Structure 1
Amino acid sequence: MTGETPRWTLPLLTAGQAQKEITHNEALTLLDMVVQPCVEAVGIDTPPDAPVPGQAWVVGDQPVAAWKDRAAMLAGWTEGGWRFLPPRQGLSVWNKAEQCRSDWDGTAWRTGRVVARELTVAGKKVLGAQQPAIASPDGGQVIDIEGRYALNAVILALRSHGLIASG
């Protein structure tokens, strides 16, 4: 067995290890950062001047100072200084600055994006996959300009929200 977990690289205890509490405490500190994480902001390149233990950030693309070479990582301030965890695909953090979730998709942090197959409210599907295009009204025996204008507005709104394909 290796000295760390395969996914989050948390330190593992070894048989006969002296001062196991140090390794155990380090693993708990890292777990505290990654279990239901809440960050102050995403994409920050400069460490804050006066962080408080328990605060965390998602490091930006061009980090400096204590965050140098830690781009895109989760950076948490502890009583022992900075701790860093590289993101894994599927990691989701609550972004306090934006008041929404930020997710690591394997290549970049995405903020405010919701990826789903459907939206269900009170047990009823209210949103699903995009539907085929709907043609704008054209022709007919009686042309109702106001009705046609309203129908075109509805079709345009459905297209702009991605609910139906463009014609």
Structure 2
Amino acid sequence: MPDKTPRLDFLLLLPSQAQKHVTRNGAPLLLDMITQLTFTTFEESDPPTAPEGGEVHVVGDPANGDWVGQVGKIARFDGNGWALVDPQ
């Protein structure tokens, strides 16, 4: 059984999974990120030093700091860290 949906990358509940709330909350957060998408910056190489929750950026080349190895991905700051997804 796959652990994510094929198109939007939503996390799926798996049999006997502990902490179901973590997986269940991931889908609405991802949907919130990609729906009505607006970018704070586009192709920025450095993550902001003091991002606000909900900021969305497109990671540029070369990627630095927390974004190393994430070139071209969409990055959203959730208040604690960066969620990064591949654009579809």
TM-score normalised by structure 1 residue count: 0.50
For structure 1, which runs of at least 5 residues remain unmatched after alignment? 89-167
Q: For residues 69-118 of structure 1, what are the alpha-carbon distances to aligned partners after superposition, in whole Å with 9 as ceiling and x for unaligned?
A: 11111000002310001011xxxxxxxxxxxxxxxxxxxxxxxxxxxxxx
The residue type equivalent to 1:27 in the other structure is A
CA RMSD after TM alignment = 1.2
Q: Partners in 2 of 1:60 and 1:7 — Cα distance?
A: 23
- In structure 2, what is the equivalent of residue 61 of structure 1? 61
- In structure 1, what is the equivalent of residue 5 of structure 2? 5
Larger % of strand: which? 1
| Matched-pair identity in % | 36
- In structure 2, what is the equivalent of residue 30 of structure 1? 30
The residue type equivalent to 1:76 in the other structure is R
Query: Secondary structure, in 3 states, of the residue corresponding to 1:66?
Result: helix
Verify the 8 A CA contact 1:58 1:72 in the aligned structure 2. Answer: yes
Residues 23-32 or 68-77, more deviating: 23-32
Q: Which runs of 4+ in 1 moved over 3 A?
A: none
State the aligned residue count: 88
Q: Partners in 2 of 1:8 and 1:46 — Cα distance?
A: 26
Residues 59-68 or 23-32, more deviating: 23-32
Whichever of the two has the greater Rg, that structure is 1
For structure 2, which runs of at least 5 residues remain unmatched after alignment? none
Superposed, 1:60-99 pairs within 5 Å as: 60-88=60-88
Q: Partners in 1 of 2:22 and 2:75 — Cα distance?
A: 20
